[in-house]
Structure 1
Amino acid sequence: MPDASDGAAFFAENCTACHGSTGKGDGPLTAQLPVAPRDLTTLSRDNGGTFPTAQALSYVYGDPEQGHLARVMPEFADAMSLDLVPLEVDGVLTPTPRALAGLLFYLESIQQP
């Protein structure tokens, strides 16, 4: 099963250009984006103190309610879809791409009060 360190490696490779090395939304490409990247360290705080696993999973993987033209962040579904692990999401074991499970563990680990 992946852990937060696996997610940190994925984050460093795929997310820091926009979200910055600490996830605060201050990456080097921020000024070039039409919408400022989300501060990923406040996801739990903005969700009543609970990390929003299902929402984060859906958004990173590719939220079906928002097509690729409606969002700035790329979808990662194609890059992740073949290697699945069981992840508990809202009390249900959910087949989840290994890289995404690690990323979710990492994002949860960087939450600020």
Structure 2
Amino acid sequence: MNKQSICRCVVASLLSITAASWAQTSVGLGRADYKDNCASCHGASGKGDGPMHSFLLKPPSDLTRIAQRHGGQFPQELMWEVIDGRWSGDGGPHGSREMPVWGQEFKARAMTEPGDSPRTAEWSARQRIASLLKYLETIQQP
């Protein structure tokens, strides 16, 4: 094996380790955000049975069956729109907007951090939504 091949193998190994580590971290961050922001309505297990569910006009969705309701595939783009909420209008894919507009909320929270700009706050909001999506994928039931 020549020097260039060894370097490529080392770089590929490091990238795969980093990607796996990021995925685990991302799921963990998504789990924490879910617990703090979503479980009160959707329930700790995501079945739509949180302590606030009886106070809502529309019952919260069972988040463990998202993929099942979409032919076995987790609909990343649709779920991004539902969670972010900034571009879906009042109706949107979620129905009524009883659900908070998390894209706006996460960005507003990030703007309270010292030194944050609108650009970094937007990046932070998107990272949080991506982490929530990763977590939601892990709780899907057949």
TM-score by length of 1: 0.82
Counting helix residues as a fraction of each chain, which structure ranks higher? 2
Partner of 2:102: 76
Higher share in strand: 1
Listed as ranges, the gaps of 5+ residues in structure 2 are 1-21, 108-120
2:88, 2:81 → 1: CA distance? 10
Map residues 1-113 of structure 1 onto 2, 5 A cutoff.
1=22, 2-62=25-85, 64-67=87-90, 70-81=96-107, 82-84=121-123, 97-113=126-142
Contact 2:76–2:133 at 8 Å: present in 1 too? yes
- For the pair shown, the structure with the greater C-alpha radius of gyration is 2
Check whether the contact 1:16–1:27 (CA below 8 A) recurs between aligned residues: yes
Contact 1:80–1:98 (8 Å) recurs in 2? no
Report sequence identity in percent.
35
**What stretches of structure 1 of length at least 5 have no aligned partner?**
86-95
Q: Counterpart of 2:73 in structure 1: which amino acid? A: T
1-side partners of 2:80 and 2:88: how far apart? Answer: 13
Provide the alpha-carbon RMSD of the alignment: 2.1
Letter paired with 2:105: A
Residue 44 of structure 1 aligns to a residue in which SS? helix
Q: Deviations over 1:42-98 (max 9, x none)?
A: 00011111101000000100052332893211101123341528xxxxxxxxxx711
CA change 1:65–1:97 in 2 (3 A) is closer
Q: Name which of structure 1's ranges 64-73 and 7-16 shifts more when overlaid on structure 2.
A: 64-73
